[in-house]
Amino acid sequence: AQSVTQLGSHVSVSEGALVLLRCNYSSSVPPYLFWYVQYPNQGLQLLLKYTSAATLVKGINGFEAEFKKSETSFHLTKPSAHMSDAAEYFCAVSDGSSASKIIFGSGTRLSIRP
Amino acid sequence: DAGITQSPRHKVTETGTPVTLRCHQTENHRYMYWYRQDPGHGLRLIHYSYGVKDTDKGEVSDGYSVSRSKTEDFLLTLESATSSQTSVYFCAISESTGGPSEQYFGPGTRLTVT
């Protein structure tokens, strides 16, 4: 069965500092992995996705994630945090079915200190 | 942005009353999903649909039913609302093109059961 674990329910960084949000996955099939962002009172928006092509995936708003099979990880990074990055971030894995069902992690809330 | 609307956006109802939430899409996507979002749990799949009149259960389907009579509409019904169903409900759509695809989310419906 597929699952994801997000390490840290809340991460706080200073503006301009590196952002690192951790995600580990478990999958019985080659995984498709996603990062979504949710701003307050809004729906989820796709940041980036890994679909077995390049292991380093670039997304919107300067975010990127690296797929590491040996570590079963898909951590999200951004070199320099901006105040507008404050949001909740969800890592997710496809369950491998044809119905494109996705299993979400419990989320990490990112706060940015001025 | 994907053309997904949800109605109502907010609803307060009493325990034991029936409630129907509507999701409408203009993208003609095949797959539609209903999730609930609760603190500490991320998003959990309630039901999903893989075509008109074709639906299946998700992880937390007890107490919920769904219907899809047209490609564009997916209804979620709480036959007899309970306080444990107080949550934020999200609809999502996806169009699989031979492999797992990302999902696009609506703005959500905040439901309070008193």
Yes or no, beta carbons of A100 and B96 under 8 Å apart:
yes
- The tally of CA atoms less than 13 A away on the side-chain side of residue B31 is 23
Cβ–Cβ gap A43/B58 under 8 Å: no
Interface of B with A in 17-46 (CB under 8 A): 31, 33, 40-45
Bridge partners of A94, per DSSP, are A102
Asked if A98 and B107 come within 8 Å (Cβ–Cβ), the reply is: no
Q: Do B43 and A104 count as a contact with CB atoms less than 8 A apart?
A: yes
Distance between CA atoms of residues A21 and A18, nearest Å: 10
Segment A26-51 shows an average pLDDT of 91
Instruction: Give the integer Cα–Cα distance in Å for B57 and B61.
Output: 6
Query: Is a pLDDT exceeding 90 seen at residue A90?
Result: yes
Name the pLDDT band for A51 (thresholds 50, 70, 90): confident
Average pLDDT of the residues in B102-114: 95
Per residue, the 3-state secondary structure of chain B, as one string, reads: CCCEEEECCEEEECCCCCEEEEEEECCCCCEEEEEEEECCCEEEEEEEEEECCEEEECCCCCCEEEEEEECCEEEEEECCCCHHHCEEEEEEEECCCCCCCCCEECCCEEEEEC
Specify burial of residue B62 (Cβ count, 10 A radius: 0-12, 13-18, 19+).
Answer: exposed
Contact B95, B29 (CB under 8 A): yes
Residue B1 has pLDDT above 60, yes or no: no
pLDDT greater than 90 at residue A47: yes
- pLDDT of B58 strictly over 80: yes
- Flag whether pLDDT at B92 surpasses 80: yes
State both tokens at A13: 């960084």
Q: What residues of chain A, 47 to 76, have a C-beta less than 8 Å from chain B? A: 49, 51
